[in-house]
């Protein structure tokens, strides 16, 4: 009874959404920090970082990747189920809907969560196909006696294409909208609120959304503007 309650009730599902959402928020922070090495003109730091992360951590990386994939999938599957049930809860809609202002936190971000989420999920497949399972180029960096993968050059070539740059910018902007509601909402879904805490975490969520979106969309833009893809 208790397990089914926490997994299948409307409240339990949102707890899963909140926890996985916060874990994913943590993931993108680390992802962005790692990616900042792409801003360096020297390709070695980024490539060595990627090499150590994927090749020299043994089985830890596989466990981490498995957990990350599981978190993504739980977040995605629950989102689909929750949204579907929410649509069923009002079979006949209103002719006219006007958002209540006052204290309402309804926003473009909050009403488009499922759409931005699905776009991000599709993007993720494309992103992985290209960078994780895509073309592989090897080179030997200074101080190494063996070849490692040159992901840096793959990234730079990819963002030499204006279409890829534009698509990435659009998706990262959508990620910002998703986070603008998702971040504070996760805390609220976990029941973590307070008179000072809630406005704080709401504001923090907006800042977080802007920093993440701008951070991620700046990278392709920077690469395109500075090099046009030629390394």
Partner 1 sequence: MENKNMTVYLTVWRQESKNSKGTFVKHTVEDVNPDMSFLEMLDVLNERLIKNDDVPIEFDNDCREGICGTCGVVINGTAHGPRSGATTCTVRMREFKNGENIVIEPFRARAFPVIKDLVIDRSAFDRVQNKGGYTTVRTGSAPEANSILVPKENADEAFEMAACIGCGACVAACPNASAALFVGAKVSHLALLPQGRPEAARRVERMVAQMDEEKFGACSNHGECEAVCPQEIPITAIARMRREYWKSTVKS
| Contacts to partner 1 by CB under 8 A | 2, 5-6, 9-15, 82, 85-86, 88-106, 110-111, 113, 181, 184-185, 188-193, 195, 198
Tell me the closest approach of the beta carbon of residue 83 to partner 1, in angstroms: 9
- Of 6 and 226, CB closest to partner 1: 6
- Of 105 and 132, CB closest to partner 1: 105
Tell me the closest approach of the beta carbon of residue 65 to partner 1, in angstroms: 30
Q: Which helix (H) or strand (E) holds 42?
A: none
- Of 95 and 146, CB closest to partner 1: 95
Tell me the closest approach of the beta carbon of residue 124 to partner 1, in angstroms: 22
- Quick one: which of 126, 118, 130 has its CA closest to 175? 118
Query: In angstroms, rounded to a whole number, what is the distance separating the alpha carbons of residues 152 and 188?
Result: 39
Q: Which helix (H) or strand (E) holds 187?
A: helix 162-189
Q: Does residue 187 contact residue 18 with C-beta atoms inside 8 Å?
A: yes
- Of 100 and 142, CB closest to partner 1: 100
Query: In degrees rounded to 5, what are phi and psi of residue 109?
Result: -60, -45
Tell me the closest approach of the beta carbon of residue 82 to partner 1, in angstroms: 5
Sign of CA dihedral 186, 172, 48, 55: positive
- Of 86 and 226, CB closest to partner 1: 86
Contact residues for 80 (Cβ-Cβ < 8 A; gap 6+): 114
Tell me the closest approach of the beta carbon of residue 92 to partner 1, in angstroms: 6
């Amino acid at each position: 009874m208790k397990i089914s309650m926490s997994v299948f009730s409307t409240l339990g599902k949102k707890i899963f959404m909140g926890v996985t959402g916060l874990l994913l928020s943590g993931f993108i922070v680390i992802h962005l920090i790692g990616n900042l090495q792409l801003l360096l003109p020297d390709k070695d730091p980024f490539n060595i970082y990627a090499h150590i992360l994927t090749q020299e951590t043994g089985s830890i990386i596989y466990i981490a990747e498995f957990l990350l994939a599981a978190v993504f999938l739980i977040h995605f599957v629950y989102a689909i189920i929750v949204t579907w049930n929410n649509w069923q809860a009002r079979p006949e809609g209103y002719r006219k809907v006007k958002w209540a202002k006052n204290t309402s936190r309804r926003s473009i971000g909050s009403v488009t969560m499922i759409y931005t989420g699905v776009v991000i999920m599709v993007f993720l497949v494309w992103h992985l196909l290209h960078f994780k399972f895509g073309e592989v180029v090897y080179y030997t960096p200074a101080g190494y006696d063996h070849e490692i993968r040159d992901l840096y050059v793959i990234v730079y070539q990819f963002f030499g294409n204006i279409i890829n740059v534009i698509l990435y910018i659009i998706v990262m902007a959508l990620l910002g909208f998703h986070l603008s509601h998702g971040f504070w909402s996760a805390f609220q879904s976990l029941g973590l609120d307070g008179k000072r805490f809630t406005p704080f975490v709401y504001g923090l969520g907006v800042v977080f959304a802007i920093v993440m979106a701008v951070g991620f969309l700046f990278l392709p833009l920077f690469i395109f503007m500075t090099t046009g893809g030629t390394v």
